[in-house]
A and B are shown apart, each in its own frame.
Chain A
């Protein structure tokens, strides 16, 4: 089946630093999505990308849909303590209802 390789697995950074994480796939996707999961909560959608090459921002978050449709990255600028959590990438094939998730990136921000 489809698999997503998400990296890094975990990150420890200082408040104020920028963060970058990415996902790659052996298959192409029509949509890339990034979710964040706070401790004890369900994942919440951060950004959805619908077109190859698309670059989308949501506040301090920026995500891009790779030209090959096989990869995506998420950047967080000027990190703050509440950015702590697990970030998941997910790929969607379009009419297929299957959503494939990466294994997550655990972000820790030291104040």
Chain B
């Protein structure tokens, strides 16, 4: 597609439930990032995928968080047993090449945990 697409745009869930967020990057972009943005805060790095290389999971806040990506296609971020502190906007971004910092962001998935 023309841009990075994320779904759902809004998700309200009950504490303890699992949620899955989806990101469809720009076609041909090899790199994909997930960030978390709490209300009024900056961007918190979660995980990075580059082609078929092992992902950098160093930003995942706990083992309740996991993400997958097959090749250079869609990625899913899964949060198990959601907690209220997981409430945030989850942003996905893709990048064309290794040596550029030019990320293209989706509009984000707003997660609210009640």
Contacts and interface: CB of A to CB of B under 8 A. Distances in A.
Contact of B105 (A42, A94, A102): A42
Interface residues of B, number: 24
Nearest to A100: B45
A45 B102 contact: yes
Contact of A48 (B4, B102, B108): B102
Given A95-B99, A97-B31, A103-B42, 6 more contacts: A40-B107, A42-B4, A43-B103, A48-B101, A102-B42, A104-B41
Interface residues of A, number: 23
Interface of A: 31, 33, 35, 40-45, 48, 88, 90-92, 94-95, 97-99, 101-104
B58 to A, nearest CB: 9
Interface of B: 4, 31, 33, 41-43, 45, 48, 50, 56, 91, 93, 95, 98-108
Contacts of A101: 42-43
Contacts of B101: 31, 33, 48, 90-92, 99
A91 B103 CA distance: 12
Given A97-B48, A97-B50, A44 B102 contact: no
Given A42-B4, A88-B42, A33 B102 contact: yes
Among A33, A95, A97, the one with the most B-chain Cβ atoms within 10 Å of its Cβ is A97
Nearest to A43: B105
A35 to B, nearest CB: 8
A41 B106 CA distance: 8
